[in-house]
Structures are given as C-alpha cells and as structure tokens.
Amino acid sequence: MDLNHRAQQPSVETSHSSQHSVHSVTSPSSSSPGGGGAKSPRVTHTSHGPSALEKVLSKTRPSHLPPKNKEEDNKHLKDWEEMMRNSRAADEKRKALVMERRRAREAAVEASISTWEREIVPDYRAALRDTRLRSLWWNGIPSNLRGVLWERAIGNDIALSKDSFSRCSARGRRARESGVHPLGPSIMAAIEEDMTTTLPSLHLFRPPTGPMCDDLRDMLCAFMIARADEGMSHYVPGTARVAAMLLLNLAPDRAFIAMRNLLERHCLRSFYGGPGLKEDVEAYYRIFDTLLADCMPKVYFNFKQHQISPSVYLADWLIPLFVDHLPVEACARVWDGIVLHGDAFLFRVALALLSNIEMRLFFPERKELLEVLRGENRAAQEVARRTGVLGPETEGAGKYAQYGVDEESVWQRIVEMDEWWKESTWTRLLQRELPDL
C-alpha cells in the first residue's frame, strides 16, 4: 500500500489511563453507497488490562462458590503463582537431567560401534544370547547400523524376491496414471489421508510437497496391491506410520520387504488382518489384560470398574507401532527391541506406557480415563502448556508428550520391568489363548 495515501487517511488515537484501553477512530477506505460521501467514523476498542468483571472475579475459587475476601484471594493467588514457579523450575531440572542422561547414552552408543561391528553385525542373534550385547542393543542401535540390523532381525520368512517392490509399485503407478485403480478410489483416499498425518513434524511425508511423499505413496500402494493378491483388500489407518519409519532407515525396495515380513508376525498380522482374525485379536486383548492385572493391579481394577478393556486403547498403540504416541527417536529405540524380541516386546512397551501415566489412570469418570489414554485430556494439555512441558520444542513428540513421556522414561520402565517379566509367562499365555499358534 502507498505510504502517502495511508498518511492522508484521518486517524485519531486517544489513550485513557484510567480505562487501560485505546480507542482508535479511522475512516473506511470505501465510500458510502450512492452518494460517494464517507461513512461515519468506526470506533474500535482494544483492551490492554483487566476488564471490570475480571477485577472482581476470583482466580482461586470457582464462580459457583461464595467469594473470598480480597486479602485471602491475593494470598492464595501468590501461593498459586509460587507453586507454578516451583513446578516450572522442577520441570526444567528434570529436563536437564534427562538431556544429560541422553547425551551420556548417545556417547556410549558412539563409543561402542566397534563392538557392534565386530560382535553383533555378523550375527545379530548374539544379542539374544549374551546379556552384555543385549544391554548394548537396548541402549539403542547406532543410527548408521540401524537399517541393516532391522532388516536382518526382521528377516524374510515369506521369501519375497528382491524385485517384489518394483513389480508391485509399477502396477500401482500404472493404475494411478490410468485413473482406474484395482484397489478402488476409497483405498487411495484412505492412503492419502493416512499420509497427511504421518510424522507431520518432520515435513517429509505430507502430500504434495514432502520430499519423501512419493516414496511413501509408492510403498503403500505396492503393499496394498500385494495384500489384495492375497485376498486382503482393506486399508488399515496407521499403516503409513510403519512404512514411514522403515523408509527413514532403509531404501524403498528393502523397506517394502521388511514391512511385509514385519506385519506377517502373528500379533501384527492379527491386528492388520481384518474381521477374519477378530478372534485372534480378542485373544491378544485377554493376554494383555492378564499381564496388566499382574503388573498394575490397581489400574486393572479401576479399568474393570469403568468397563475399559484393552480393545479401547491397545490397537491405537500397536497398529502404528507407537509412532503416534512417542517421539521419533523413542520409537526408533522401541523398534530396536520389537525387531529383536518379537511380539512379546510389543506388550512390554504397552505396559511401560501405562506405567508412565499410571497416576492419571484413577479418574472416577470413564470419559476422562478415555481422554487420558487417547492423549486428548484438555486439562492435562492446559497444565502441560502452562508449565512448559508442551511448547514449540516438543512439536512432534507424540500424544503423550503432555504427560512427560519421552525416550528415557519409557526405557526406564521397560528396564524396571525386566525383573518381573518372564518369557515363560508369555509363552504360557500364548498357549492358553492361542493354542493353535
């Protein structure tokens, strides 16, 4: 806009200190209809202080209760502000300790690369046999070795050929170009929608400009074409999360083979398999319920009182393999354990998540419990923003960032569970609930 023209427009500003507000009078840029004359000046009010109502409302007592006297209200307000300052200071101290531990762990991982290359890369199963090497694995696979070790630990039990991705992705591209997709428009729409919400903070996969969105689309279409060939043509929301995590660590052709094999493991195959495998999914819910009763009996009892079964929350964690609820770095480290230990580790991570938010799981209302489990509790979000737990630096940290759940806290609970967890219990529960497995 021309600055001279702006200067010619009449403008009056008057400040009234007693009112803590600014009144501005400006003439509109357009003339009144019909006569060409200017309209009456418009007055706008911008408040810069508390309103008359805000001055008499108590900030320390609900409005439906009798008001406090001013002296008591001021005292309680100062006490509350002091509590908030202490809470923020404690949270900053906690963050500093977490960061210090994380840096120490990352330095240890870097220093151990020669051990990885000498003892684990040639035979990843050594980490299952040797507690020292398992401890290294649990500390996190070095990022430059993660792709190759995930690939080896997942394996290729379904014997896919090296060109399986190129063949399936070519079919998908031809179908998209012709406009006649063998999967139908609803599947393609579901894929596109799933892509838009996959790891949004990385800005890598979101259509149409994400630098890796074409790779993700090709992989998802190839995956769905391969599944359609096997008689499973429904798309499961959350599939894009699994594909994206693999693409961050592997080339598309290798990521495709790893994904096909990973989702063929029995637990994930049950959750991705549709109505035909509903009984198996229910069996896994019963297994988790039994483990929860043993690990956290009070939470289990409260869930039973409010009719909250694993069917309400477990699939939301398992289908995207925790990508929606944890930071990317935490997910990568969790996946290190999943690819090595298999289905049992999925349940250990799920129990660790509940353990992290245990003190929030005793609400007397079912609705509030569900909001906490889904990461949608507004009160928790507001407190997290006010205390600095949520902020610009936590963008992309997952739905449970508001509860302070991060990589270190999740792994602390997993390690603490090591004394309680018994593989024999897992095997016994599988034999009881899934005898044909």
Cα–Cα distance, 337 to 348 (Å, whole number): 10
Confidence band for 40, pLDDT divided at 50, 70 and 90? very low
Q: Is 74 exposed, middle or buried (0-12, 13-18, 19+ CB in 10 A)?
A: middle
Q: Identify the pLDDT of residue 96.
A: 79
Q: Identify the pLDDT of residue 394.
A: 62
N residues, the chain: 437
Cα–Cα distance, 142 to 385 (Å, whole number): 33
CATH 1.10.472.80 maps onto the chain at 266-437
Q: Which tens digits make up the pLDDT trace of 99-124?
A: 787 788 888 888 999 999 999 999 99
Confidence band for 44, pLDDT divided at 50, 70 and 90? very low
What's the one-letter identity of residue 419? E
Q: Mean of the per-residue pLDDT values for the chain?
A: 84
Percent of the chain clearing pLDDT 70 (strictly above): 81
What's the one-letter identity of residue 283? A
Please tell me the CATH code under which domain 156-264 is placed: 1.10.8.270
For residue 314, report the phi and psi dihedrals to the nearest 5 degrees.
-65, -40
Average pLDDT over residues 375-380: 86
Cα–Cα distance, 301 to 361 (Å, whole number): 11
Average pLDDT over residues 311-323: 97
The CATH number corresponding to 266-437 among 3.40.50.300, 1.10.472.80, 3.20.20.150, 1.10.10.60 equals: 1.10.472.80
Q: Is 211 exposed, middle or buried (0-12, 13-18, 19+ CB in 10 A)?
A: exposed
Q: Are 396 and 199 spatial neighbours (Cβ–Cβ below 8 Å)?
A: yes
Residues with Cβ within 8 Å of 120's Cβ and at least 6 positions away in sequence, in order, are 126, 127, 133, 136, 137, 149
Q: Is 342 exposed, middle or buried (0-12, 13-18, 19+ CB in 10 A)?
A: middle
Determine if the peptide bond prior to 208 is cis (ω within 30°). yes
In the three-class reduction of DSSP (H, G, I as helix; E, B as strand; rest coil), residue 91 is classed as helix
Count CA within 13 A, CB hemisphere, residue 233. Answer: 11
* Other CB atoms within 10 A of residue 150 CB: 25
CATH 1.10.8.270 maps onto the chain at 156-264
The answer, yes or no, to whether residue 216 has pLDDT greater than 60, is yes
Q: Are 322 and 411 spatial neighbours (Cβ–Cβ below 8 Å)?
A: no
